């Protein structure tokens, strides 16, 4: 099996666009959570989110592809922009590569349609007797037709499709839709495609955006979002803290350039980290609640360590899933203890969701990028807002201030609705 290096990192996140701005925000403990600006949330039960403001992917993609931006949904725009940032960061001259040896895997969650716009539009068309499948009226009213490619803004595979077209990637192309594990799994699938020789370069990551009234109501009904209104927005996401009451929804994307290791070395590429192992499991417990004993999460972590050939005592840092929900944070703590035993007291963990919120299908990819940057810089971002110790969450979560230290192997974990579990192992180079 061939070794796999990370040679490019592109991030679009609420606390920074671009690898450097994002990482500076993480290390400094800067929160990107704030009042919702993308719609009028004044009468909505949820009024805060981790939004990416005023993002335009056009500067980061080839000139000839910029006209396609108008047919992209919001998540796809984040994804193609992150891919452009990652390709530029890698130094790969993409036009000189064999396109059939470059592939794409992107993760995402539920891609929201603008039902607030669509439903009354169709109702009006039916009332007027003008409805048929070819002549939907324009959302603005009048007699104009609906934009013919409207549906393509909302298909889950569009982020992967646009990334592939923008950079002429003609190799393997997959879209992963495994809830909050999707971005992590995309990197894991890319690892295996290169390791077994199906591709030489993979653009892997996740892109998601679901900050709209309907989606926020849906998550509120599930009881997963923070509803505490007596704290400033930047203090609402507080993983592992005793006063946590749910996650803060966010959006964004991250793409990693994965490359066959010897090839990367031969061209003199900067290598951020080596991806060593990927593990996946399923709880088979509940569609909404994780197994409280962490057995499924532990199986995914062990599988990743086994594939990496790494003993659990060699792991020095975990970029935790850490959602800021009561059940997830307690479960993740239990899973770590189940795998690491006595070493659980020595390993450091932190959750960057405390700063950027939970971007669902993109979250694992953004956290994989953070893990790679941690191993590259040997700096580990904090879990901010961790001020009230929880007896159930009693490990070292790097509270409030970043740390430096020598770590060879790191782990990134993700756990999602339905019982999905995933883990990645990376090595410092």
CATH label of the domain that carries residue 243: 3.40.47.10
Residues 138, 159, single domain; the answer is no
Residues 53, 174, single domain; the answer is yes
Q: Are the C-beta atoms of 256 and 183 separated by less than 8 Å?
A: no
For residue 140, the enclosing domain spans 115-151
The pair of three-digit structure tokens given for residue 379, joined into one six-digit string? 């700096």
Residues 264, 353, single domain; the answer is yes
By annotation, the residues acting in catalysis are 180, 321, 358
Residues 143, 242, single domain; the answer is no
Q: What confidence score (pLDDT) does residue 157 get? A: 95
The pair of three-digit structure tokens given for residue 362, joined into one six-digit string? 């993109």
Q: What confidence score (pLDDT) does residue 71 get? A: 85
Pick the closest to residue 321 from 312, 332, 330 (CA basis). 332
Q: What confidence score (pLDDT) does residue 134 get? A: 46
Residue 330 phi/psi, 5-degree rounding, is -70, -40
Pick the closest to residue 7 from 228, 267, 210, 245 (CA basis). 267
Q: What confidence score (pLDDT) does residue 152 get? A: 81
Q: How far apart are CA 186 and CA 108, in angstroms?
A: 9
Residues 83, 145, single domain; the answer is no
Residues 367, 399, single domain; the answer is yes
Residues 135, 218, single domain; the answer is no
Residues 30, 65, single domain; the answer is yes
Q: How far apart are CA 404 and CA 380, in angstroms?
A: 6
Q: What confidence score (pLDDT) does residue 214 get? A: 84
Q: How far apart are CA 30 and CA 161, in angstroms?
A: 33
Residues 282, 140, single domain; the answer is no
Residues 128, 190, single domain; the answer is no
Q: What is the pLDDT along the chain (429 residues), one digit of tens a residue?
A: 899 999 999 999 999 999 999 999 999 999 999 999 999 999 999 999 999 999 999 999 999 999 899 889 899 999 999 999 999 999 999 999 999 999 999 999 976 665 555 656 566 656 655 555 545 555 555 544 455 677 788 889 999 999 999 999 999 999 999 999 999 999 999 999 999 999 999 999 999 998 988 889 999 999 999 998 889 999 999 999 999 999 999 999 999 999 999 999 999 999 999 999 999 999 999 999 999 999 999 999 999 999 999 999 999 999 999 999 999 999 999 999 999 999 999 999 999 999 999 999 999 999 999 999 999 999 999 999 999 999 999 999 999 999 999 999 999 999 999 999 999 999 999
Q: How far apart are CA 293 and CA 56, in angstroms?
A: 43
Q: How far apart are CA 78 and CA 74, in angstroms?
A: 6
Looking at 151, 171, 204, the residue that finishes a domain is 151
Question: Is 69 buried (19+), middle (13-18) or exposed (0-12) by CB count in 10 A?
Answer: middle
| Whole-structure pTM value | 0.94
The total number of structural domains in the chain stands at 2
Q: What confidence score (pLDDT) does residue 144 get? A: 42
Q: How far apart are CA 242 and CA 216, in angstroms?
A: 24
Q: How far apart are CA 126 and CA 120, in angstroms?
A: 10
Q: Are the C-beta atoms of 35 and 377 separated by less than 8 Å?
A: no
Q: How far apart are CA 400 and CA 407, in angstroms?
A: 20
Tokens 């993308």 found at? 38
Secondary structure of residue 188 in the 3-state scheme: helix
Q: What confidence score (pLDDT) does residue 149 get? A: 72
pLDDT per position as a tens digit, 69-90: 988 989 999 999 999 999 999 9
Residues 246, 380, single domain; the answer is yes
Residues 108, 125, single domain; the answer is no
Q: Name the percent of the chain in helix, strand, coil, to the closest 5.
A: 40, 20, 40
């Amino acid at each position: 099996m061939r070794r796999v290096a990370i040679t490019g990192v592109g991030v679009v996140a609420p606390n920074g666009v671009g690898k450097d701005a994002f990482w500076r925000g993480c290390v400094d403990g800067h929160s990107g959570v704030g009042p919702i600006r993308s719609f009028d949330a004044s009468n909505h039960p949820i009024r805060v989110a981790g939004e990416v403001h005023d993002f335009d992917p056009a500067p980061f993609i080839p000139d000839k592809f910029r006209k396609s931006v108008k047919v992209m949904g919001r998540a796809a725009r984040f994804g193609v922009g992150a891919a452009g940032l990652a390709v530029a960061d890698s130094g790969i001259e993409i036009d000189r590569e064999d396109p059939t040896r470059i592939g794409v895997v992107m993760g995402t969650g539920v891609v929201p349609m603008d039902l607030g716009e669509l439903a009354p539009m169709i109702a009006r068309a039916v009332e007027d007797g003008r409805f048929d499948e070819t002549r939907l009226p324009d959302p603005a009213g009048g007699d104009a037709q609906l934009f013919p490619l409207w549906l393509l803004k909302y298909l889950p595979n569009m982020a992967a499709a646009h990334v592939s077209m923008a950079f002429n990637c003609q190799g393997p192309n997959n879209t992963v839709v495994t809830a909050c594990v999707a971005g992590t799994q995309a990197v894991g699938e890319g690892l295996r495609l290169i390791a077994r020789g199906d591709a030489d370069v993979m653009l892997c990551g996740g892109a998601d955006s679901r900050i709209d009234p309907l989606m926020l109501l849906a998550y509120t009904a599930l009881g997963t979002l923070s509803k505490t209104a007596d704290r400033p927005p930047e203090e609402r996401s507080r993983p592992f803290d005793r006063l946590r009451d749910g996650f803060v929804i966010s959006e964004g994307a991250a793409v990693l350039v994965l490359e066959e290791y010897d090839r990367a070395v031969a061209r003199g590429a900067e290598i951020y980290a080596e991806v060593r192992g990927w593990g996946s499991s399923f709880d088979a417990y509940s569609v909404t609640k994780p197994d409280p004993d962490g057995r499924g999460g532990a199986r995914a972590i062990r599988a990743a360590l086994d594939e990496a050939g790494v003993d659990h005592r060699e792991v020095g840092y975990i970029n935790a899933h850490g959602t800021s929900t009561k059940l997830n944070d307690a479960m993740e703590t239990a899973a770590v203890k189940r795998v690491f035993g006595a070493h659980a007291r020595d390993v450091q963990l932190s959750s960057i969701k405390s700063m950027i919120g939970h971007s669902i299908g993109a979250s694992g990819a953004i956290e994989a990028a953070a893990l790679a940057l941690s191993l590259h810089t040997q700096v580990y971002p904090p879990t901010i807002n961790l001020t009230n110790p929880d007896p159930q969450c009693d490990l070292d979560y790097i509270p409030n201030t970043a740390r430096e230290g020598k770590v060879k192997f790191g782990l990134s974990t993700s756990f999602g609705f339905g019982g999905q579990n995933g883990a990645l192992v990376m090595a410092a180079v």
